[in-house]
């Protein structure tokens, strides 16, 4: 699934009238995974087949992007 890998602690603060805005730090694909150092309070673009970075525990589907 294409989307954005994030920390749930950052994403859980989102409300309908209070979106959370996270900068996109890097893109991860099957051929080019994200490096080991994760930037706190950032999102990582994830392409289908990519490995989700170890320190991130949630993926927001691209369809929910605003």
Would you place residue 4 in the very low, low, confident or very high pLDDT band (cuts 50, 70, 90)? Answer: very high
| Domains, the chain | 3-64 (2.170.190.11)
Q: Over the stretch 15-49, which tens digit does the pLDDT of each residue have? A: 888 888 999 998 888 888 887 788 999 999 999 88
**Which tokens belong to 8?**
């749930």
Asked if residue 46 lies in contact with residue 57, where contact means CB atoms within 8 angstroms, the answer is no
Would you place residue 9 in the very low, low, confident or very high pLDDT band (cuts 50, 70, 90)? Answer: very high
- The pLDDT score that the predictor gives to residue 59 is 92
Q: Angle CA(44)–CA(50)–CA(52) in degrees, nearest 5?
A: 50
Q: How far apart are CA 13 and CA 50, in angstroms?
A: 26
pTM beyond 0.85, yes or no: no
């Amino acid at each position: 699934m294409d989307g954005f890998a994030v920390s749930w602690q950052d994403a859980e603060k989102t409300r309908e009238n209070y979106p959370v805005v996270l900068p996109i730090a890097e893109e991860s694909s099957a051929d080019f995974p994200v490096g080991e150092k994760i930037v706190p309070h950032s999102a990582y673009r994830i392409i289908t087949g990519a490995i989700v970075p170890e320190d991130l525990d949630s993926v927001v589907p691209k369809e929910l992007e605003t």
